Chains A and B, each alone.
Chain A
Amino acid sequence: MAIILPEDPTPIARVPSTENKTGGWRTFRPVIIYEKCIRCFICWKFCPEPAIEFDSPDAYPAPKPALAKFDTVKINYDYCKGCGICANECPVNAIEMVLEEEVEE
């Protein structure tokens, strides 16, 4: 009797985890206050998701003209679980944790 092997003899995972939108786990939403942001990218460095992305320098107003040439950051709310590491590590307290129900769109 012939042995029929499956096309994939070893199970290989092929679906990227980005299909899994973990933003629904969130209780507190981090909101960046761009008037304070000094564009140091410390939040990007410590994000465990990673859910912090770069944006173009002119996407948001810069607090000082010297900072205008640097890229800005934005939070991808599809994946942010709201752990708050970014708000805790921000050296200028430019990230605020807002309860999801109280977010103004």
Chain B
Amino acid sequence: MRKLTIPEEEYMRSGHTACLGCGATIAMRYVLKALGKNTILSIPACCWAVIPGVYPRHNLEVPLLYTAFEVTGAAVSGIREALNALGKEDVNVVGFAGDGGTADIGIQALSGAVERGHDIFYIMYDNEAYMNTGIQRSGSTPIGAWTTTTPGGKKRMYKWEPKKSVAEIMVAHHIPYVATATIAYPEDLIAKIKRAKEIKGPKFIQILSPCPTGWRHSPDKTVEISRLAVQTNAFPLYEVVKGTYRITVKPKKPKPIKEYLRLQGRFRHLTEEEIEMIQRIVDENWRELLKKERCSQEVKE
């Protein structure tokens, strides 16, 4: 007898070539647990393009199509329409891309796909830089972070631009379902994907998945850091169903952002003033989100 809070079926096999403590593999494991076997995945160039192993090895129990970096949105639209033409409308079509392939390179294909309204899932696993090619800065890298293309030095050339909010870009497309999730809250993540499954139309889910190699933290802290990201409000968990916001995890007493930053080597260089500035940005974003939740619920009444 066993009491489990997430589905027991396993669609991701062991023996993949991810780094130790990889957050993206945990994300994929939960996504497939929630979606089930009746799924087709499309993956662009990203960490997940190398994790299943080199040809002829395969790692997932579901079909997987590799595409070029910028075309995940177009590829999943094509798969969806081809399946519809064959009468297989019950198959889940999922684009599973990293943050570079979503926020920077793939955004026009994604924007087109969700605007055309295909019945697709688009899952962005957000490891906050181009991790597969060697930790280059992406649009989704948070403010203050070290990467190999923002290496610091005497002039302190770290990434000083704020993180691009892809979930908000998707909300602006007026699609039926947008959500953010993280691997430390698997029940929440799986519930969101199951809810999205019931909705027809484009669905977008952003999953924060820490990367020990690029974030410069010990591999055993992967889940702890993603939990801290939520508890410090650095990465709030919410969902937007047809324009109505709902925050799914509200920390009763948010922890100071310092606890989240200090565990990661990529933020080691930050001074006290810079941490205060990041704290201010995080607080502002949280208040904005609370207001959005309140306003959108009032508008719908």
Q: Determine if A84 and B219 form an interchain contact, defined as CB atoms under 8 angstroms apart.
A: yes
How many angstroms between the C-alpha atoms of A13 and B51 in the bound complex? 14
Q: Are the C-beta atoms of A46 and B223 separated by less than 8 Å?
A: yes
Q: Are B56 and A15 in contact (CB under 8 A)?
A: yes
State whether the Cβ of A16 lies closer than 8 Å to any Cβ in chain B.
yes
Once the chains bind, are A17 and B220 in contact (CB under 8 Å)? no
Count residues on chain A whose CB falls below 8 Å from chain B CBs.
Answer: 38
Tell me if B's interface is mostly helix, strand, loop or mixed. Answer: loop
- Chain A residues with CB below 8 A from B26, complex form: 46, 48
| Distance between A49 CB and nearest chain B CB, rounded to angstroms | 5
Q: State the CA gap A18–B61 with chains docked (Å).
A: 12
What 0/1 pattern do residues 81 to 93 of A give for CB contact below 8 A with B?
Answer: 1111101110000
Interface residues on B, range: 35 or more
Identify whether the interface residues of A are mostly helix, strand, loop, or mixed: loop
* Beta-carbon nearest neighbor of B26 in chain A: A48
Interface residues of B (CB under 8 A from A): 1-6, 10, 12-18, 20-23, 25-26, 29, 52-53, 55-59, 183, 186, 212, 218-224
Interface residues of A (CB under 8 A from B): 11, 13-22, 25, 39, 41, 44-46, 48-51, 54, 57, 69-71, 76, 78-79, 81-85, 87-89, 97
Which 9 residue pairs are nearest across A and B when measured between Cβ atoms? A84-B220, A83-B21, A13-B58, A83-B20, A79-B14, A20-B15, A17-B15, A83-B219, A17-B59
